[in-house]
Amino acid sequence: MSVKQISAIELKNKIQNGESLFLLDVREPHEFQYAHIEKSVSVPLNQIPYRLDELDRQQDIVVICHHGMRSQQAADYLVHYGFEKVSNLRGGIDAWSCECDNSVPRY
């Protein structure tokens, strides 16, 4: 099963439509502190294997990082461990800042 790619605009529309999403930000804590999407949850990539039990397998999970590489790794990992509703934010927080919310700082 491959991970669905979602654009920043698609994610914004889902949020605005009130869809139930779990926004999983896998960047390092200092990156998350500097810039993040409202209501996202920080779980750094290297902690994912130890924190799988904190994630709801039934919920739609959108994985977020800086440009979409680390989040793809995390999303692949989740799918490997049986998560089925996983999407990767293509372009990461940088795309979100450029396309959806320029109040989110770029770095």
* Annotated catalytic residue, options 35, 61, 65, 86: 65
Place of tokens 């698609």: 10
Could you give the C-alpha distances from 47 to 56, 88, 89, in angstroms and in order? 16, 18, 19
User: Which residues make beta-bridge pairs with 6?
Assistant: 89
The H or E element spanning position 72 is helix 69-80
- 65 as an active site residue: the answer is yes
- Residues with a known catalytic role: 65
